[in-house]
Structure 1
Amino acid sequence: MSTAAATAERLPRLNRFGWLMGLYAENHARFQRLFAPAALEAGRYRSVIGDGLDVCLDVIERHRYTTELRLTYAMPDPVTGEPDPSAYLRVYHDARQLEATHCYIGRRWQDVIGLYPPPAEVIGHRMRMNTFLGKWLEYLAERGHGVATLQGPEAIPKKVIEMS
């Protein structure tokens, strides 16, 4: 048996759910470095770096073990009027994980996977959403967004709270 084959046999295989939990942990670390949400009170924050693409971070609700957020650009979709792209996020403080619970990137989740998708399709969709979130957070950091560029908080419009 070759050394590579022996090593491969000893390494545990990561299933899709384990991979998803890893994405949540990576996104939590990125988000913490970027916006330090533990210090933010409920309200709307805007990150302005002067490129015309301001980022809005809504701290919708704070709970003992979780925080509900929405991350979006300050520009609406011309067809729907909704911010696009936009991601609703849930921070799990004790587990140190950040989950994109749902995203709007031109389409709603029901349009993408249907109303009653099989479990494997749900996991796949969550993997795509959270992979997108990780790449978006990296992009925002590269552009210069972060705690130093946040302005706010302002009152969150009622429409945002009703959508969550």
Structure 2
Amino acid sequence: MDHALARIARIPKLSRFGWLMALYAENHQRLSRLFDLQTLAVGSYVSSVGDGLDLRVDVIETHRYTIELRLTYDICDPLTGEPDPSAFVRFYRDAHQVEATHCYVGRRWQDVIGLYPPPAEVVGHRMRMNTFLGKWLEYLAGQGHDKRTLRPVPIGATRAQDAA
């Protein structure tokens, strides 16, 4: 019994922060398998697989080391009139990480957990958002979304025109 306990004690434990960084890396792999974001210009794109739930990918900004984007369906929340579900994502080109920065329109982490939350609460909140993102990306891949199903939305087109 002591031999087994000694062996377990030698296995390094992954901190919650380490777990979060691993989740960011997994989400980078998932998103990179779905779409070739590094080739997309700023603008809106739609991925259709014939299931009636077109995925919208809005590339908001591109920088040398990051790409800011939003993933959403064109389903509007009845209270806000904004697309829901919706995930704002930061794609780190150099670090090979993907981080969901917030998942609700107008609700950044400060709105959800306050201005001065304890560090453990911040990490927990980020883990929940990025676990959601990972599960959503896996679902999208399972539905058949990928770079072949992604097409640009014409400039000036509205969401209603996208569906037509």
TM range (shorter): 0.7 to 0.9
CA contact (8 A) 2:69 2:89 kept: yes
d(CA) in 1 for partners of 2:115, 2:132:
22
Residue identity opposite 2:124 in structure 1: G
Matches for 1:61-100 after TM superposition, within 5 Å:
61-100=61-100
2:18 paired with 1:26: no
- Percent pairwise identity: 67
* Count of residue pairs the alignment pairs up: 157
- Counterpart position of 1:162: none
Matches for 1:131-146 after TM superposition, within 5 Å:
131-146=131-146
Structure-2 change in CA distance of 1:20 and 1:129 (3 Å)? same
Residue identity opposite 1:54 in structure 2: D
CA contact (8 A) 2:77 2:83 kept: yes
Structure-2 change in CA distance of 1:99 and 1:154 (3 Å)? farther
5+ unaligned residues in a row in structure 2: which ranges? Answer: 158-164
Residue identity opposite 1:18 in structure 2: G
1:108 positional shift: 5.8
Normalising by structure 1, what TM-score?
Answer: 0.88
d(CA) in 1 for partners of 2:125, 2:37:
25
1:117 positional shift: 1.8
- Counterpart position of 2:49: 49
Matches for 1:125-136 after TM superposition, within 5 Å:
125-136=125-136
d(CA) in 2 for partners of 1:94, 1:31:
15
Residue identity opposite 1:151 in structure 2: R
5+ unaligned residues in a row in structure 1: which ranges? Answer: 158-164
d(CA) in 2 for partners of 1:156, 1:27:
31
CA RMSD of aligned residues (A): 2.1
CA contact (8 A) 1:34 1:146 kept: yes
- Counterpart position of 2:101: 101
CA contact (8 A) 2:47 2:145 kept: yes
Residue identity opposite 1:28 in structure 2: H
2:30 paired with 1:5: no
CA contact (8 A) 2:70 2:88 kept: yes
Question: 2:23 is paired with a residue of what secondary structure?
Answer: helix
Structure-2 change in CA distance of 1:89 and 1:154 (3 Å)? farther
Q: Cα deviation per residue 1:7-39 (whole Å; 9 max; x = unaligned)? A: 211111111111110000000000000011111
- Counterpart position of 1:160: none
- Counterpart position of 1:116: 116
